[in-house]
Chains A and B, each alone.
Chain A
């Protein structure tokens, strides 16, 4: 990284309290253009809560979330509704898959286009040529994304009928349909077998490097994290305890202690 990379997301001292419990404690984090950043830490470290704050599902107690969209105006997005955050250009997936079960795979992706299309109620009823064109574009975009994640053959299936790994990839395709500049993936490899994880690995790198979409991911699969991340942040008990390149993190005593102390992760 010779020339100073352009920042996309800048989180400063983010804190989130639930009643007396401090789930996220003054965490500072940033993601730059073309970066794949991982957020790791033992279960219950507050990673998902951090995600929920950034994507507007929770309103953080304190701290500042700044977004610098490429070619757009920088904004502080604290307290924005989730759909506004997505419109700004940050899309996410969920740890416990949240697909639209009784809609087809294609329709799931088409929902992602919602905030990038304009058809109104009257327009939908009239179906003017403009509306038809927009609809066509939505379909084409959705298919293109399904091709990218290898799900074209399942386009007409109900989402609930997909195998587990395919559901995770569908979540990624759906998020990408919103044209994000930053993709937030919450444990994308959870519950996948090694083969699926390898494929996912490739997919994420492809999205990151070829499409130029920055990625922030929460992940427990250390092999995946070490393989693809440019930088890693480590959280424990709501606090950030380390940051650095994969090499630095591997040898960071605090991190080793956090994981060995928990005694459950294969770092």
Chain B
């Protein structure tokens, strides 16, 4: 039973990270119908910035909790800046191009960012400092759920609730929903669509950075390539839940995380990634609209 609970908790943890990243995919896709292939790289850059900040602060003698907060904040700022710049360079000039163009541009951007980090930092795995302290009150159940896992779950939940509130109640949220419905119309009624798109990229990137920092601290090492797999899986989660659908992304992330964790725990961990892809392919074939998505007829 403990083994099952342990798998369950690690599945939830994994899933909530997928969900955090998936939100970025889903929001961007909802608005400009683009798979932002470079989103995983933003997540990776978030983790790297946090690692660097944490490293520097440790050397200058800062203490545990302040490091976590500062590293997280700076990583979020940088991820936002990268997301914003990425959109301006690689996607905005292609707003009216044929569908394949922004997609190829996105793949190019992803390759570029990966190799930029590789060259600027290192091709090797870097040990990531443990930013989340081990809480004393977690002691009795530590074999089932660790402190890091708890922090990940709580942080993701808070982030998702915050995002939902933001989209539901703020002016920008309204503008985002309007743009998602009909970009041309949104522009006609005076919404600055370019700004909405930028904000979407920024929010998505911030969420990805949160995910990156938490995962780095949880797993204990990162390299330039971690964004690739995380990106593909988060995208799977987004599709699973119904792309463009925000609660769907959260649900898809959790389902995928749990399923993966169970499969790895009870079947074999070597084929863990195959399993994720298999889920993706099956969903796209059987129910392309996803768990919570609505089927949309193409206009002829």
Contact = CB atoms under 8 A, between A and B. Distances in A.
A48 B300 contact: yes
A48 B300 CA distance: 8
A94 B300 contact: yes
Contacts of B300: 48, 52, 57, 94
The number of chain B residues touching the other chain, given as a range, is under 10
Contacts of A57: 300
6 nearest A-B residue pairs (beta carbon): A52-B300, A57-B300, A18-B297, A94-B300, A48-B300, A58-B297
Contacts of A94: 300
A94 B299 CA distance: 11
A56 to B, nearest CB: 11
Contacts of A58: 297
Nearest to B297: A18
A81 to B, nearest CB: 14
* B interface, over-half SS: loop
Interface string A48-60: 1000100001100
A18 B297 CA distance: 9
Contacts, number: 6
Contacts of B297: 18, 58
A186 to B, nearest CB: 9
A18 B298 CA distance: 12
Nearest to B298: A57
Contacts of A52: 300
Nearest to A101: B98
A48 B297 CA distance: 14
Nearest to B299: A96
B6 to A, nearest CB: 43
A52 B297 CA distance: 12
A57 B300 CA distance: 8
A57 B298 CA distance: 10
Interface string A198-220: 00000000000000000000000
A48 B298 CA distance: 13
Nearest to A48: B300
Interface string A231-259: 00000000000000000000000000000
Interface in A52-75: 52, 57-58
6 contacts: A18-B297, A48-B300, A52-B300, A57-B300, A58-B297, A94-B300
A18 B300 CA distance: 14
A65 B69 CA distance: 67
Nearest to A95: B300
Nearest to A102: B98
Contacts of A48: 300
A58 B299 CA distance: 11
